[in-house]
């Protein structure tokens, strides 16, 4: 494949960083003031030269091969106001990052277009959305692994990494985090973590080593996509304790690479065991890294996205649905 010129938006910074490991040019729509979704190459990610800021006013003049939408307003509004008529006819992908926020099984996806490809980030999300006649595919997450396990587990504490947990509430398990923190020592990292007495945001380059000092990683999220932070923790060698909901139920092999359950009391008991038995935590973390290397390696992720881009740009024709949506 020749490198493609792909228009997209800065919707999720970490995801965009890993997506940009694919050998294409990603033109990221920007607006003055770093409005949400239009933040350019902002933040502390080590962006490559293939991630290119593109002011909204210049979008219609840019030579493009493909449009990659990542949010509803981009598809509903920016498509008409930013793109030229010719660009609106380009091959298009809608990258859906979340499961339905309405009815969990009967919500019809916003996109209803047999000529657009809907890409889900987890098989669970694809299972839950009703995509109608829009062809869809799953591209699971991919993360750049540390070259070797970094785990020390020297801190007899658990780590939670969630952005804006205080204002996102029960959806991401703020109440479960508070209840668990009252029973076992837990630290919270992520944007606005200070609002819940947390540590704040950790620079992306420092995340693996920062995580590796903790005894385990706790994921209290009730209903959302599998978080990149969970995968980053596994690749750093941490065992994961999590709710057995959404895609997490297929990631955690109970007693082998961590613990998953729908009962908080059971999860708290597992955390206490890991705090008391550092050798067990190390063993589970070793298995967690092995599983993550096999399923979520960046090389597999790039291959999958290259196949998607090849299909939609007619390097290969779309071969129909790849998932029974």
Other Cβ atoms less than 10 A from the Cβ of 3: the count is 12
Phi, psi for 292 (deg, rounded to 5): -65, -35
CA 160/CA 294 separation, integer angstroms: 24
Average pLDDT, the chain: 92
Distance of alpha carbon 178 from its chain centroid, rounded? 23
Where do the domains of the chain lie, and which CATH numbers do they carry?
Answer: 5-142+298-312 (3.40.50), 155-295 (3.40.50.2000)
The lowest-confidence range among 28-37, 149-158, 314-323 is 314-323
Mean pLDDT of all residues in 147-172:
92
Both structure tokens of 319: 């071969």
Q: Are 145 and 207 spatial neighbours (Cβ–Cβ below 8 Å)?
A: no
Residue 208 in this model has a pLDDT that exceeds 60: yes
Q: Are 312 and 93 spatial neighbours (Cβ–Cβ below 8 Å)?
A: yes
Q: What is the pLDDT of residue 149?
A: 78
Residue 169 vs residue 269, higher pLDDT: 269
Contacts of 123 (CB under 8 A, 6+ apart): 138, 140, 247, 250, 323
Residue 88 host element (H or E): helix 85-88
Q: What is the pTM of this model?
A: 0.92
Distance of alpha carbon 44 from its chain centroid, rounded? 17
Q: What is the pLDDT of residue 175?
A: 96
The predicted-structure confidence for 219-247, as pLDDT tens digits, reads as follows 999 999 998 999 999 999 999 999 999 99
The lowest-confidence range among 39-43, 81-85, 145-149, 267-271 is 39-43
The lowest-confidence range among 19-28, 198-207, 223-232 is 198-207
Mean pLDDT of all residues in 57-81:
96
Q: Are 141 and 121 spatial neighbours (Cβ–Cβ below 8 Å)?
A: yes
CA 73/CA 75 separation, integer angstroms: 5
């Amino acid at each position: 494949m020749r490198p493609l010129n792909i228009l997209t938006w800065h919707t999720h910074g970490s995801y965009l960083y890993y997506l940009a490991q694919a050998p294409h040019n990603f033109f990221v729509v920007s607006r003055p003031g770093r409005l949400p979704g239009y933040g350019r190459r902002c933040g502390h990610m080590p962006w490559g030269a293939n991630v290119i800021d593109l002011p909204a006013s210049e979008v219609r003049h840019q030579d493009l091969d493909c449009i990659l939408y990542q949010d509803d307003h981009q598809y509903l509004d920016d498509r008409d106001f930013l793109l030229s008529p010719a660009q609106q006819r380009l091959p298009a992908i809608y990258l859906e990052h979340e499961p339905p926020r309405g009815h969990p099984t009967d919500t019809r996806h916003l996109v209803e277009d047999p000529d657009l490809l809907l890409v889900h980030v987890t098989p669970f999300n694809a299972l839950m959305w009703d995509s109608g006649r829009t062809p869809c595919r799953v591209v699971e997450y991919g993360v750049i692994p540390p070259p070797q396990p970094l785990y020390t587990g020297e801190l007899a504490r658990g780590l939670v990494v969630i952005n804006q947990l205080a204002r996102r509430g029960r959806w991401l398990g703020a109440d479960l985090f508070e209840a668990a923190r009252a029973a076992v020592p837990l630290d919270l990292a992520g944007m606005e973590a200070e609002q819940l007495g947390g540590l704040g945001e950790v620079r992306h380059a420092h995340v693996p080593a920062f995580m590796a000092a903790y005894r385990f990683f706790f994921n209290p999220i009730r209903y959302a996509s599998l978080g990149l932070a969970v995968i980053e923790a596994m690749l750093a060698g941490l065992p994961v304790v999590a709710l057995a909901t959404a895609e997490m139920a297929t990631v955690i092999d109970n007693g082998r690479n961590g613990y998953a359950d729908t009962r908080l009391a059971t999860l708290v008991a597992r955390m206490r065991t890991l705090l008391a038995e550092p050798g067990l935590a190390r063993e589970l973390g070793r298995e967690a890294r092995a599983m993550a290397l096999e399923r979520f390696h960046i090389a597999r992720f790039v291959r999958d996205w290259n196949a998607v881009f090849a299909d939609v740009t007619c390097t290969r024709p779309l071969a129909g649905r790849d998932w029974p949506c």
